[in-house]
């Protein structure tokens, strides 16, 4: 860009205190200027914009705000017209200050030369003052909105309920408070759709409910809904059943469009399970009172439940151990991160381009000096030496006195361009140095000053260059000012103001002049020289033309305040609504109204900020009104109630109107001496939140004083300055849960009493069974000998009787009856013997039995009976596993059931008997089904009774099914019957596998 002949100009630009840029236009496809490229930025411009000498990228990409503040249009206009011009605009440079800048531009050949200077050295215009006042009001409004958002965020974060916010139709997590996050542990939620973050909810109604609320806007209230989540993030997922009360509330934008969903939920699994447990225990107690014989099974169930609880405790201990390990790992990671940060700080200190040193103690001994500081004094020893020993030339200089004052007072000292004469080398001559520096006190762990930290930028070269360039710079500025004076003062003011200014001429309101800010309100429209109704059709529809006509006709000035202007869309500009503060004022020529001057200021940001603040307040009120937890806010030492949502008013037994504006302990006098005031005083004093669970208190309600149990949090709230001013109360009434838990405890006590009584009854029943077994055993053995003797005597009598007596009409039947009685007595004794043997049946050694082979043997034994009855026997046992059982007992079960099915067949239809077997977890199931006579309900109740015969037309003893039942129960199994009279009977045997 520069040649050797330009060395003077190049030096001038380098030392200039004014930012000077060299730009070249970027041409569009139709020959228009679309942007500029920064070919050169002098050092002052580099410091102002934070750019290198030759930046990469276009002007529009480096300064996006140039599209809206009119600066890019100004550059295009100056380059096109070829005349020098000036422009004033507001800019936030990298230094952080907010100021108006004056820019001068002139086309030189194919390039544009631009000079920028801070206009802070002149008195701000009324427009600038109005703009800054508006910006201050806007910042205050935003600060107030931020405070309200922070209060709402604090309440939501510390609420004992689970709260989240979904955004968009995909229900993306936008906000999640800690209780909600705890549902899934460390699993990330924010920024993810719920279907991705919680895929285990697929198949549950959650997604459909959210879609309905988002589509219709109708809130959804759920009570004790079952939701299954993987709370521990296991692989594979382990879904746990929990119950929740929750609300889905649609969130609407400022335009009233649904854009998200609020979720408020709290878990009620404990009370649901408690209620279920109470119901189950009541049912168990009723069954226990009716069926004493089932006591052993219930007792075993209780033991199993105890074992399950113990298993859960062991699992909980394991989980706690895992969590401790995780916390230990997190601590190690935190220590690693701390070391990494320390190393980064050390690298920054050593690599910083500024000169940094640390002076220790009252003598200001060099403790540390980075490389940049040491380069100021090459070869001079510093570390370990007092400052005045290492650099004695600083004695009585200003820098020494400021260092002492910083050490003594702790007040940080900052100074720009300080002159310090120093020697670079030991014994060398003094040289002039200029620094920008900061001196800051260092404190030890007890808060006492123990040194001073110095941060200095060597500005010597820049300062000397500025002094040398002052003369040249003055000449450049004078030349630029002569060119700027050629423009009219009025138009210059209009061009640089951020307010929209236009001059309308004639009754048709033709635009005679408009500044860039006015053009920005209607981007893409060619407006100069055209009637306002032609270029702004929306002005006709919205009534602005009527206002202009009235001002033109009457000469009365019109003031509009925050009037909405709906700008219609164009091909390259979307539709939008702006809010304007404007003035229509007629101007005259030769005593007649010639036109109207328009002065407008865009107040859109202030209006939108106020609307957002109002929406946030309305949203906060809606959140409080609809929250499923009780929320209140009290302010000041008198605890004036500022907010009380319906739930907290219900808990306190008052209406909202009775609470708002009242001191807490005057509105609720019954709680004054219950210790709550002392807790609140401590919260305000320390600034620490207070949380309590199941606190018992007395509250006055319609029925009088009632005992209430509460979970609550006192959360201190701070204002914008950090002062503690209010306390948020978040509470949940848990009276029902407490009552339910106490009811469960009482029920458990009654159950323990019932178990003790049943245990005593079982002992008595056991003794009775032993006595009965002894009786059966004694009867079966002691009666054998007498019956045998009677049988022998009867045989001897028959042999001794003369033939004519034996053949007598009455003797023969009597003898037959006596023989029959003896035979039946012997059978009865045999059955009693078999029954007595059943008591020892369960002591027999079990063997592995092939069920299919055993059933086949029984079928062969019953071959004659099957043939005689013309019965069909269907067997399905091929898939059954081998069974560990007494072969004799299993054969007795199968034989008795099959023989009874054949024996009690129905006349008139072919007999069909089916035997099926199949395994289930822990059991082998055996079904024997027939289409025989069937049994009534009364007969089924007597079926397994000893010596009970229900059909007398068939021979039998009445002990077969009794023996089968005893064998099955001795083995730990069960036998049941299902029967319908004249249809058939099915016996189901379940044996432990």
Which of the four pLDDT bands, split at 50, 70 and 90, describes residue 510? very high
pLDDT over 80 (residue 137): no
Report CA-CA distances (Å) from 373 to 34, 351, 367, 457.
48, 11, 13, 9
Burial class (CB in 10 A: 0-12, 13-18, 19+), 334: exposed
Same domain, 369 and 383: yes
Peptide bond into 900 cis (omega under 30): no
- Give the CB-side neighbour count of residue 972, counting CA atoms within 13 A: 10
Mean pLDDT along residues 423-445:
89
More confident residue, 135 or 378: 378
Same domain, 645 and 722: yes
Domain boundary, last residue among 685, 703, 733: 733
More confident residue, 255 or 338: 255
Same domain, 321 and 400: no
Same domain, 959 and 876: yes
Same domain, 62 and 85: yes
Instruction: Output b/e per residue, 826-847; b: 16+ Cβ within 10 A.
Output: bebbebbebbbebbebeeeeee
What CATH number has the domain bearing residue 971?
3.30.565.10
pLDDT tens sequence across 180-228 = 999 998 899 999 999 999 999 999 999 999 999 999 999 999 999 999 9
DSSP state of 239: -
pLDDT tens sequence across 775-825 = 665 555 556 667 777 877 777 777 777 877 777 777 777 777 777 777 666
pLDDT of residue 191: 92
What 91-100 contacts at long range (C-beta under 8 Å, 24+ apart), as own/partner pairs, is 91/65, 93/48, 93/49, 93/50, 94/48, 94/49, 94/50, 95/47, 95/48, 98/135, 100/124, 100/128
Same domain, 21 and 83: yes
pLDDT of residue 8: 80
Same domain, 509 and 474: no
Range in 647-651, 908-912, 942-946 the model is least confident about: 942-946
Tokens matching residue 393: 């030339």
Q: Is residue 827 included in any domain, yes or no?
A: no
pLDDT tens sequence across 453-483 = 998 888 888 888 777 767 666 665 665 466 4
Report CA-CA distances (Å) from 474 to 17, 48, 463.
11, 20, 16
Show the domain range for 302.
294-351
pLDDT of residue 928: 96
Longest dimension (CA), the chain: 176
Domain boundary, last residue among 608, 642, 677: 608
pLDDT of residue 487: 47
DSSP 852-898: HHHHHHHHHHTHHHHHHHT-EEEEE-TTPPPEEE-HHHHHHHHHHHH
- CA–CA distance, 691 with 710 (Å, rounded to integer): 11
What CATH number has the domain bearing residue 245?
3.30.450.20
pLDDT tens sequence across 369-392 = 888 888 899 889 999 999 999 999
Which of the four pLDDT bands, split at 50, 70 and 90, describes residue 253? confident
Q: Is residue 828 included in any domain, yes or no?
A: no
DSSP 716-754: EEE-TTS-EEEEEEEEEE-HHHHHHHHHHHHHHHHHHHH
Which of the four pLDDT bands, split at 50, 70 and 90, describes residue 306? very low
Structural domain count, the chain: 7
pLDDT of residue 299: 44
Quick one: CA torsion of 954, 955, 958, 961, rounded to 10 degrees? -70
pLDDT tens sequence across 33-47 = 999 999 999 999 998
Hunting for tokens 């064998």 — which residue is that?
967
Tokens matching residue 788: 């045998």
Q: Is residue 661 included in any domain, yes or no?
A: yes
Mean pLDDT along residues 668-688:
91
Same domain, 344 and 374: no
Range in 437-451, 459-473, 485-499, 613-627 the model is least confident about: 485-499
Which of the four pLDDT bands, split at 50, 70 and 90, describes residue 323? low
Q: At what angle do helices 7-15 and 460-484 cross, to 10 degrees?
A: 100
Mean pLDDT along residues 96-117:
82
Burial class (CB in 10 A: 0-12, 13-18, 19+), 885: buried
Same domain, 356 and 340: no
| C-beta separation of 178 from 189 below 8 A | no
Q: At what angle do helices 784-800 and 811-838 cross, to 10 degrees?
A: 160
- CA–CA distance, 668 with 663 (Å, rounded to integer): 9
Which of the four pLDDT bands, split at 50, 70 and 90, describes residue 505? very high
pLDDT tens sequence across 732-773 = 989 889 888 889 888 888 888 888 888 887 778 667 666 666
Q: Is residue 819 included in any domain, yes or no?
A: no
Domain boundary, last residue among 573, 608, 643: 608
pLDDT over 60 (residue 163): yes
| C-beta separation of 796 from 789 below 8 A | no
- CA–CA distance, 947 with 22 (Å, rounded to integer): 121
| C-beta separation of 715 from 689 below 8 A | yes
Q: Is residue 913 included in any domain, yes or no?
A: yes
pLDDT tens sequence across 682-741 = 999 999 999 999 899 999 988 788 899 999 999 999 887 888 989 999 999 898 898 888
DSSP 424-474: SSTTPPEEEEEEEEEEEEEE-TTS-EEEEEEEEEE-HHHHHHHHHHHHHHH
DSSP state of 531: B
- Judged by DSSP in three states, 153 sits in helix
| C-beta separation of 194 from 176 below 8 A | no
- Judged by DSSP in three states, 536 sits in coil
Residue among 690, 706, 587 nearest 653 (CA):
706
Which of the four pLDDT bands, split at 50, 70 and 90, describes residue 340? low
Q: Tell me what the pLDDT averaged over the chain comes to.
A: 82
Residue 875 has φ and ψ, to the nearest 5°, of -125, 130
Percent of the chain with pLDDT over 90: 34
Which of the four pLDDT bands, split at 50, 70 and 90, describes residue 22? very high
Residue among 69, 62, 68, 13 nearest 36 (CA):
62
| C-beta separation of 242 from 267 below 8 A | yes
629 sits in which H/E element: none
Percent of the chain with pLDDT over 70: 78
Same domain, 976 and 853: yes
Same domain, 189 and 259: yes
pLDDT of residue 283: 75
pLDDT of residue 604: 87
- Judged by DSSP in three states, 26 sits in strand
Mean pLDDT along residues 266-281:
83
Residue among 86, 115, 113 nearest 16 (CA):
115
pLDDT of residue 10: 80
Q: Is residue 10 included in any domain, yes or no?
A: yes
Q: Count of CB atoms within 10 A of residue 583's CB?
A: 16
Range in 327-336, 658-667, 849-858 the model is least confident about: 327-336
- CA–CA distance, 145 with 82 (Å, rounded to integer): 48
Q: Is residue 72 included in any domain, yes or no?
A: yes
Which of the four pLDDT bands, split at 50, 70 and 90, describes residue 514? confident
Tokens matching residue 296: 């052993």
Helices (H), 783-848: 784-800, 803-806, 811-838
Burial class (CB in 10 A: 0-12, 13-18, 19+), 326: exposed
Mean pLDDT along residues 825-830:
64
More confident residue, 382 or 292: 382
pLDDT tens sequence across 480-503 = 466 455 546 666 667 777 888 989
pLDDT of residue 627: 75
Q: Is residue 767 included in any domain, yes or no?
A: no
Q: Count of CB atoms within 10 A of residue 511's CB?
A: 22
pLDDT of residue 324: 54
pLDDT of residue 692: 92
pTM of the complete model: 0.31
Which of the four pLDDT bands, split at 50, 70 and 90, describes residue 632? very high
Mean pLDDT along residues 521-539:
84
More confident residue, 332 or 510: 510
Same domain, 346 and 358: no
């Amino acid at each position: 860009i520069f040649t050797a002949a330009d060395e003077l100009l190049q030096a001038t630009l380098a030392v200039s205190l004014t930012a000077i840029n060299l730009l070249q236009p970027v041409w569009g496809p139709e020959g228009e200027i679309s942007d500029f490229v920064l070919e050169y930025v002098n050092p002052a411009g580099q410091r102002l914009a934070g750019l290198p000498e030759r930046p990469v990228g276009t002007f529009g990409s480096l300064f996006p705000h140039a599209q809206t503040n009119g600066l890019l249009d100004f550059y295009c206009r100056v380059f096109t017209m070829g005349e020098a011009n000036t422009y004033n605009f507001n800019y936030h440079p990298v230094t952080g200050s907010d100021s108006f800048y004056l820019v001068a531009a002139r086309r030189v050949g194919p390039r544009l030369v631009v000079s920028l200077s801070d206009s802070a050295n002149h008195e701000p215009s009324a427009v600038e003052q109005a703009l800054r006042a508006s910006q201050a009001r806007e910042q205050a409004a935003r600060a107030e909105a931020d405070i309200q958002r922070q209060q709402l965020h604090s309440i939501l974060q510390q609420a004992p309920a689970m709260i989240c916010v979904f955004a968009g139709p995909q229900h993306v997590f936008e906000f999640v408070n800690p209780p909600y996050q705890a549902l899934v542990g460390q699993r990330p939620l924010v920024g993810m759709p719920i279907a991705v973050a919680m895929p285990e909810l697929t198949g549950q109604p959650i997604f459909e409910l959210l879609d309905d609320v988002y589509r219709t806007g109708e809130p959804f209230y759920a009570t004790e809904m079952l939701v299954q989540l993987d709370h521990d993030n296991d692989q594979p997922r382990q879904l746990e059943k929990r119950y929740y009360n929750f609300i889905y509330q649609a969130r609407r934008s400022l335009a009233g469009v649904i854009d998200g969903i609020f979720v408020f939920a709290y878990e009620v699994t404990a009370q649901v399970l408690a209620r279920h447990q109470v119901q189950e225990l009541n049912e168990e107690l009723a069954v226990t009172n009716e069926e004493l014989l089932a006591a052993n099974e219930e007792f075993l169930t209780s033991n199993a439940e105890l074992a399950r609880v113990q298993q859960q405790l062991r699992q909980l201990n394991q989980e706690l151990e895992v969590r401790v390990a995780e916390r230990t790992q997190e601590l190690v990671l935190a220590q690693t991160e701390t070391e990494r940060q320390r190393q980064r700080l050390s690298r920054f200190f050593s690599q910083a381009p500024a000169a940094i040193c640390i002076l220790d103690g009252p003598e200001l001994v060099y403790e540390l000096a980075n490389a940049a500081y040491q380069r100021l004094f090459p070869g001079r020893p510093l570390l370990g030496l007092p400052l005045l020993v290492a650099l004695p030339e600083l004695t009585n200089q200003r820098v020494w006195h400021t260092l002492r004052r910083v050490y003594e007072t702790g007040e940080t000292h900052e100074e720009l361009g300080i002159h310090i004469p120093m020697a670079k080398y030991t014994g060398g001559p003094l040289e002039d140095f200029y620094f920008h520096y900061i001196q800051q006190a260092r404190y030890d762990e007890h808060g006492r000053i123990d040194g001073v930290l110095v941060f200095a930028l060597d500005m010597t070269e820049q300062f000397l260059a500025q002094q040398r360039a002052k003369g040249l710079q003055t000449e450049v500025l004078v030349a630029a000012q002569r060119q700027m004076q050629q423009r009219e003062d009025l138009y210059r003011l209009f061009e640089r103001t951020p307010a929209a200014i236009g001059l309308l001429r004639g009754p048709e309101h033709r635009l005679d002049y408009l500044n860039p800010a006015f053009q920005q309100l209607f981007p893409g429209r060619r407006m100069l020289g055209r009637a306002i109704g032609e270029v702004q059709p929306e002005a006709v529809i919205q009534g602005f033309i009527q206002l202009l006509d009235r001002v033109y006709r009457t000469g009365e000035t019109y003031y509009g305040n925050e009037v909405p202007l709906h700008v219609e869309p164009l091909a390259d500009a979307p539709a939008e609504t702006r809010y304007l503060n404007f003035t229509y004022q007629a101007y005259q020529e030769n005593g007649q109204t010639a036109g109207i001057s328009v002065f407008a200021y865009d107040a859109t940001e202030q209006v939108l900020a106020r609307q957002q603040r109002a929406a946030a307040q309305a949203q906060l009120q809606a959140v409080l009104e609809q929250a499923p937890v009780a929320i209140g806010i009290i302010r000041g030492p008198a605890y004036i109630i500022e907010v009380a949502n319906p739930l907290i008013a219900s808990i306190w037994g008052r209406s909202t109107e009775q609470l708002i504006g009242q001191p807490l302990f005057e509105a609720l006098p019954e709680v004054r001496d219950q210790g709550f005031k002392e807790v609140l005083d401590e919260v305000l004093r320390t600034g620490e939140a207070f949380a309590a669970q199941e606190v018992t208190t007395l509250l006055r309600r319609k029925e009088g004083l009632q005992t209430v149990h509460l979970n609550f949090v006192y959360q201190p709230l701070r204002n914008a300055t950090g002062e503690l001013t209010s306390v948020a109360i978040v509470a949940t009434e848990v009276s029902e849960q407490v009552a339910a838990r106490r009811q469960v405890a009482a029920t458990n006590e009654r159950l323990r009493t019932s178990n003790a009584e049943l245990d005593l009854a079982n002992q008595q029943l056991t003794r009775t069974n032993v006595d009965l077994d002894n009786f059966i055993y004694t009867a079966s053995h002691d009666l054998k000998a007498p019956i045998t003797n009677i049988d022998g005597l009867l045989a001897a009598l028959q042999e001794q009787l003369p033939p004519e007596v034996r053949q007598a009409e009455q003797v023969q039947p009597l003898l037959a009856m006596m023989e029959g009685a003896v035979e039946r007595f012997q059978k009865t004794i045999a059955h009693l013997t078999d029954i007595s043997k059943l008591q020892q049946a369960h002591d027999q050694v079990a063997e592995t039995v092939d069920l299919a082979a055993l059933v086949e043997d029984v079928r062969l034994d019953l071959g004659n009976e099957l043939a005689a009855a013309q019965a069909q026997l269907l067997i399905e046992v091929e898939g059954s596993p081998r069974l560990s059982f007494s072969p004799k007992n299993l054969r007795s079960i199968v034989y008795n059931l099959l023989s009874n099915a054949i024996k009690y067949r129905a006349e008139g239809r072919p007999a069909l008997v089916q035997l099926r077997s199949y395994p289930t977890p822990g059991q082998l199931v055996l079904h024997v089904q027939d289409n025989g006579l069937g049994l009534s309900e009364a007969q089924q109740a007597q079926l397994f009774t000893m010596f009970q015969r229900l059909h007398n037309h068939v021979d039998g003893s009445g002990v077969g099914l009794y023996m089968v039942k005893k064998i099955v129960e001795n083995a730990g199994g069960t036998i049941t019957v299902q029967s319908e009279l004249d249809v058939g009977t099915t016996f189901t045997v379940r044996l432990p596998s």
